[in-house]
Amino acid sequence: MKASWDIFCSVVDNYGDIGVTWRLARQLVAEHGLAVRLWVDDLRAFVRLCPEADGQALQQERQGVRVCQWSADWQPTPVADVVIGAFACQLPRDYVTAMVEREKAPLWLNLDYLSAEDWVEGCHGLPSPQPNGLRKFFFFPGFQAKTGGLLREAGLLAARQTFQQDPAVRQAFLQAMGIAPAANARLISLFAYENAGLAGWLDVMATDSRPNHVLVPEGRILGDLQAWLGVGELAVGAIEVRGALTVQVLPFVSQDQYDRLLWCCDFNAVRGEDSFVRAQWAGRPLLWHIYVQEEYAHWEKLEAFLALYTKGLSVAASLALINLWRAWNMDRDMGECWLQVLQHEQELTEHAGHWCRQQAAQPDLATTLVQFYLNWI
């Protein structure tokens, strides 16, 4: 009998939490043959990632995962063998009581946020005894050997390599999305929160000697984009041209489509956690808009990742990338920083591929979770 897993996801205000848990749930089913229920408290966010889903259903089967509506009116349900609370969400009180009363206590995991900070390795896998007698284990995704690794499906990088090496396949995908960049255009994806630094970046791209085609999935950055363009509300499908810059607004797409969009681009600006990891698997230079935390705690996460990621780069290329990331996340002018990055474009592209291969040499997050469970029993 295959083990049962419950994953609880509380959607905060973006798509990173549901994006991570939905990917994880699918992989646990597809690659490890597990019975997985994904409990989601906001099915509207789930429907954005899985358009065929029913936003009203109490329970539904999607790609082998039992997706359940996590409502305030909690109804008794059997406790799973493994219980994952994603990103420190609070499990239903009655469910926790049922965990205590279960003949064999389940493995309770707190799947935490992704971080490159040094302390993560020391805390990964540690138990946290609870007043009710249960033990909850901290489980940290990460970039180093003593962490839980990153979400990566089997065959992902092989599929990406095949896609990127076939211009006809890439062209067909872009065409299906309504994207027709100039032959020599630099293709950039832009998925970000509101950012005052956007205008300076767009100014420089508009005066570039090489065409720049920026693809913007609908989201929170559109307001800043509208202000710079001097237009009214930008709708999906809108295409605006300013000098050497073409800006195109794309619809919110499925996760698999978004992966391929990242694979098509020469440079990817991403936000949060889910798209951040997927951009790394694209093997292209990237820019991360990290989610803002209280007391600027996110800056420490940003600097920790940069310290790790830039190893192996030349001093000049490393400094250019670091300055760009700092400018983007601290609302500084992006123009000069972008010009510096362009001077090292080839080195940064090669480095992104090297980083991707380096991370792929480590076990993926789903596999480390399953192995942790097998060791626990």
Report, as residue numbers or ranges, the catalytic residues. Answer: 17, 273
Give dist(CA 8, CA 110) in Å, integer: 10
Helix locations, the chain, DSSP H: 16-32, 43-49, 93-101, 119-123, 156-164, 167-176, 198-206, 222-229, 255-264, 274-281, 297-309, 315-329, 335-342, 345-360, 365-376
Q: Which residues pair with 217 in a beta bridge?
A: 250
* Residue 73 buriedness (CB in 10 A; 0-12 / 13-18 / 19+): exposed
Per-residue DSSP letters for 69-81? E--SS----PPPS
The position carrying tokens 């509300």 is 233
Give dist(CA 182, CA 114) in Å, integer: 37
Cα atoms in the Cβ-side hemisphere of radius 13 Å centred on 158: 3
Give dist(CA 231, CA 31) in Å, integer: 47
Element spanning 42, H or E: none
Give dist(CA 182, CA 266) in Å, integer: 13
Helix (H, G, I), strand (E, B) or coil at 327: helix
Give dist(CA 104, CA 376) in Å, integer: 12
Q: Which residues pair with 84 in a beta bridge?
A: 7, 109
Q: Which residues pair with 186 in a beta bridge?
A: 212
Report CA 268 to chain centroid distance, whole Å: 12
237: left (phi over 0), alpha (psi -120 to 50) or beta: left
Token digits for 160? 């990406």
Q: Which residues pair with 15 in a beta bridge?
A: none
